[in-house]
Structure 1
C-alpha cells in the first residue's frame, strides 16, 4: 500500500469498532489522525496507542449531530494538525425493530447520527479536502462514508436503518459526481455483519433476533473494514474506488 506520510485524517466515531481500527490503520501508514467521538477515555487510550507507535493523534471530544460541534471538529483538526486530506465518516448507530410500535426516538437518533452528522462533517471538511487535493504530498484527497449492506438491501425489521444508509449511498454518489474532477474521491464502504459494539445498543428482543439471524456465521472484524479503508485511500491519484460491499463469506443477504 502507498504511504500517507505528510497527510492528515479525521475519523468520526473513533472510540470503538471500525472507527478505532481505521484510525490505527491510517496512522500505521503515516497519517496524523484526529480522533472524534464522545467518549473521552476511549479516545485518549487510542491516541496513546498511536503515539506509542510513533504516530501523531489529536483527541476531539464532540457530538457530530450538533452542527456547530461538527464544524468545530474539522476546524480543530486543521488548526491542530495543519491540514485535512482524509475524512472517514464513520459515526453511526443501528437500532433495529419493526416499524409498528417502534420507539420514534430511535428513528430520530439514527437520522441525526447516520445522516445529519455525516452531512455536517462532509460539508465542513469539503473546503479543506479540495485544498489538499491541490497540493502535496499526494495531490488527492478522500472522503470515505461508512454505510452498510443495509444501504443496498432493504429488510423487514430494519426499515429506518435501511433508509438512513440508502441516504448515505445517494449522497455519496451525487457528491462524487460534483467533485471527482477536482481529485477529491468519495468512497462508500458497505460492511455486512461485523463484530463491533454497534448491535449492542438495541433492545433485548431485537438483540435476540440479530443473534438468531447470524447464528453460526463468522462475522467480519473491525480490522477487516479498516484494511478496506486503508486500501481505498492509498490508491494512486488516478484510481478511485467508489463503492465496496464486504460481507462475511457465510452471510447470504
Structure 2
C-alpha cells in the first residue's frame, strides 16, 4: 500500500484536520475520512440519519448503513444543534465539497511545507478510511458492508501482503494454546458469545440483526487489537457469520431510526 492513502495513515490525516477553519469544514473531512462518505452522500445526510443499534452507531446513506464512530456521531449532533436544522447538514453542492477538501489540503501544505496535501481529494479520504479498517483487521465482508466499495478486488490495494514472520505467527496455533488467556482475549470471547446470541435472536429481530452483528464484530476486533489470537478469532467469527448468511452480499436491512 502506498500513495496518498498511506500518507494520510502515517499522520497526514490529523495534520489535514488541523488545517480546517470551521466546524463545517472539519465535519466534511471527518465524514469522508472516518465514515467513508462520497460527496453525493455528504450533501444529503441529516442528523436524523444517524441510528444506534446495540450501542453501535451507523449512518443511513440510502444504499448502505455506514459505520459511524461514536465521536463523529456526537460531532454530527453538535453541529446540527449549532445550525438549528433537521434538514441536510451541509447545504452545498457536491463540487463544493470537493473544493472545500482541496482548500483544506492547500492550507495544510502551506502550514507544513508538504505539497502532497495539495493533491488530497475526497476519494483519497475514502481510501484512507478503507485502509484504516483493513489495517485494524476488520473482516473484509464487513468493510464492504459499511463502505462504498462493492468488490473485494477494490480493497486489494489496501491489503499489505504478509511477511513470513506474520504468517508464522498466525499459523502458530501450538503457541496460542499454551499462552494463558489474557484479559483482552477473555473480553473478546464474551463479545463473540454476544454474536451467538444475536444470531439466535434473528427470528425475533430480523430487521436490525445484520447491523447488530456487524457492530458486535467491530467491537470484537477492537477488543482483540494487538493480540496474537486476533486472526484465529476473526476467522472463527467470519465462518460463523458466513455460515449463518449474515454477511452474504446485498444491502443491509433498514432498521427503525431511534
Greater CA radius of gyration, 1 or 2?
2
TM-score in terms of structure 2 length = 0.28
Higher helix share: 2
Higher strand share: 1
TM-score in terms of structure 1 length = 0.29
